[in-house]
Amino acid sequence: METSQQVMADLLKLETRVWEALVSGDKATDAALLTEDFIGVYPDGFAGKDAHVGQLDGGSTVAEYALSEVQLRQVSDGAAILIYRADYLRVEGSEREVMLVSSLWERRAGVWVNSFSQDTPLTGQGVV
């Protein structure tokens, strides 16, 4: 069985591949890393795999990014939540944005794939 540190390192590499796909506009890589039943929870609503991959129809969406404050919650041997802060600049943006991300990765048929992601913009308003 992998240690939590090994799982965190593996999942961070995979999560970074998702971000690199957003930078390069690589729809194939993005699609390969998401489950068919992927669901994303975003500030503007829910999105499935087709919408996540479809955002790259016009090319890259992210110009640059940095991931930090990485944490892992091991749910089971075959599931873990990667939690982190993302600082990024959109291709069409002029100001950096920050969000906190929770990504559920599941080991399906021996391969880690992303089945859920929740992106929460960092507003500085505190917990209600």
Average pLDDT over residues 107-127: 92
Q: What is the pTM of this model?
A: 0.93
CA distances from 56 to 23, 91, 105 (A): 9, 12, 21
Q: How far apart are the first and last CA of the chain?
A: 39
The pLDDT, as a whole number, for residue 1 is: 59
Domains of the chain: total: 1
Chain segment 37-81, per-residue pLDDT in tens: 999 999 999 999 999 999 999 999 999 999 999 999 999 999 999
Structure confidence at residue 123 as a pLDDT band (50, 70, 90):
confident
Q: For 72-90, write each residue's pLDDT tens digit.
A: 999 999 999 999 999 999 9
**Which residue range is the domain that position 22 belongs to?**
4-121
Is 128 inside a domain boundary?
Answer: no
In a domain, 126, yes or no: no
Within a domain: residue 127? no
